[in-house]
Amino acid sequence: MGAVRLKIACVAMLMAGVATAASARDLTVVSFGGSLQDAIRAAFITPFVDGGGAKVIEDTYDGALSKITAQVETGATKWDVIDVESNQLLQGCQEGAFEQLDHSKLGDLSKVLPAAKDFSPCGVGFLTGAQVLVYDKAKLADGPKTWADFWDVKKFPGKRGLKFGPKNTLEAALMADGVPAADVYEVLSAEGGVDRAFKKLDEIKSDIVWWKLGAESIQQLASGETVMATAYNGRVVAANRDENRQFEMAWDAGSIYFLDYFAILSGSEKKEDAEKFIAYAIGAEGQREFPSHIGYGPTNLAAFEGMDAKVSAELPTEERLASSVFRDDKYWLDHNDELTQRFNVWAAQ
């Protein structure tokens, strides 16, 4: 009996030890992996930790909101700071998956884009990315300048690459139909707006090559599969730099830009450290360092002061953003399911 009791006591102590070790975890920052996570590590995490901030461990995920809500619902939160896209931020905030941020704890936000700090009370934007009109200057010396050119198969014969799905594609179609960037969502949500966009897409339907993964649109341009395409600006910059490509981005056509946000998981036990990390990430120093690692732009305009001109030439600057459409994820949150079904029916015909 004594031996059994001793064994039980040992096991209980071991389990208690394991439990306490598990709860004393480090600040966990989560993003999408790959070059984006490398850039976050180089520009934010490493300087933050070196500068005396809390110890940080990383994790990756694929962006599925279900992974976040599952943790919050079961109470077993193991993540703290998460890199979320705008639609997940909106939906997660509405459903209580994220903490409300206290802007007073995040440092000087005076030069931060309104789209970054006012979009949602649960997150702060730390990078601007855009889907731009891209073509290979090596193959097309005089390339397309507007979305109308993208739709002009006589002037620029060849296949076009577009992202498979209603998001970004319907906006591009409306801009090709003459809608100014500022009015795109007004027209899209009005009566007949969606029909107009699909009708415009019908005009070049047989010349479209659909891409699904970000790397695909670049690969199609590089191999000559498409003569022009929409692509994420960060990937275009990476392809030009790492593979010696001459991809040209037609910023004047008007891009569709979006932000990535940092949010804090609801119920996180590292909330204070998480706020300090986010404050560093949107501070001028972190924001200035970030674009040199990946071609996305800063959300804190103070970062442009003192930035290498070669780097800032490739970024979504204030002027370029002014002529672009800010992807309205409130609209997409309402209509994504319905329009994805409609898009699939249309595309399969």
Partner 1 sequence: MALERALATGPSASRERAAFRLPRIGRSQFAAAGLLAPAVFATIVCLVIPLVMFLVRGVSNSEIVTALPTTIQSLQNWDGQNLPPDETFARLAEDLSVARTSGKLGELGRRMNIMVPGFRTLVMKTGTQMQTVPAEPRTALIEIDKRWGEPEVWQLLRQESGRWTDSYFLASIDLKRTPGGDIVQVSPDQKIFVGLFVRTFAISISVTVICLLIGYPAAYVLASASPKWVGLLLLLVLLPFWTSTLVRSTAWIVLLQNEGLINRTLRALGIIDGSLPLFANRFAVLVAMTHVLLPYMIMPIYAAMKAVPADQMRAAGSLGATPPRAFRRVYLPQTHAGVAAGSLLVFILALGYYVTPAIVGGPGDQMISYFIALFTNESLNWGLASALGTLLLLATTLFYVVFSRFGRSGAGAH
Residues that bind partner 1 (CB under 8 A): 64-66, 69, 91, 93-96, 164, 209-210, 212-213, 216, 219-220, 223-225, 330, 333-338, 340-342, 344-348
Tokens at residue 176, please?
Answer: 């090709």
Of residues 46 and 341, the one with the C-beta less far from partner 1: 341
Kindly state the smallest distance separating residue 213's Cβ from partner 1, in Å: 8
Of residues 166 and 297, the one with the C-beta less far from partner 1: 166
Concatenated DSSP letters of 189-252: HSTTHHHHHHHHHHHHGGGEEEE-SHHHHHHHHHHTS-SEEEEEHHHHHHHHHHS---EEE-GG
End-to-end CA distance of the chain: 76
Kindly state the smallest distance separating residue 153's Cβ from partner 1, in Å: 17
Please state whether beta strands 325-326 and 256-264 pair in parallel, antiparallel, or not at all (unpaired).
Answer: parallel
Of residues 319 and 337, the one with the C-beta less far from partner 1: 337
* Residue written as token pair 């992996």: 33
Cβ pair 230, 217 in contact under 8 A: yes
Of residues 156 and 346, the one with the C-beta less far from partner 1: 346
Kindly state the smallest distance separating residue 300's Cβ from partner 1, in Å: 28
Of residues 32 and 164, the one with the C-beta less far from partner 1: 164
Kindly state the smallest distance separating residue 91's Cβ from partner 1, in Å: 7
Kindly state the smallest distance separating residue 232's Cβ from partner 1, in Å: 18
Of residues 28 and 220, the one with the C-beta less far from partner 1: 220
Kindly state the smallest distance separating residue 72's Cβ from partner 1, in Å: 11
Of residues 46 and 94, the one with the C-beta less far from partner 1: 94
Q: How far apart are CA 52 and CA 112, in angstroms?
A: 24
Kindly state the smallest distance separating residue 240's Cβ from partner 1, in Å: 20
Of residues 95 and 285, the one with the C-beta less far from partner 1: 95
The dihedrals phi and psi of 31, each to the nearest 5 degrees, come to: -145, -165
Kindly state the smallest distance separating residue 49's Cβ from partner 1, in Å: 32
Quote the distance between the C-alpha of residue 197 and its chain's center.
24
| Those residues with Cβ within 8 angstroms of residue 263's Cβ, 6 or more apart along the chain or in another chain | 81, 82, 84, 89, 92, 93, 98, 99, 101, 122, 123
For 255-291, letters b (16+ CB in 10 Å) and e give: bbbbbbbbbbbbebebbebbbbbbbbbbbbbbbbbbb
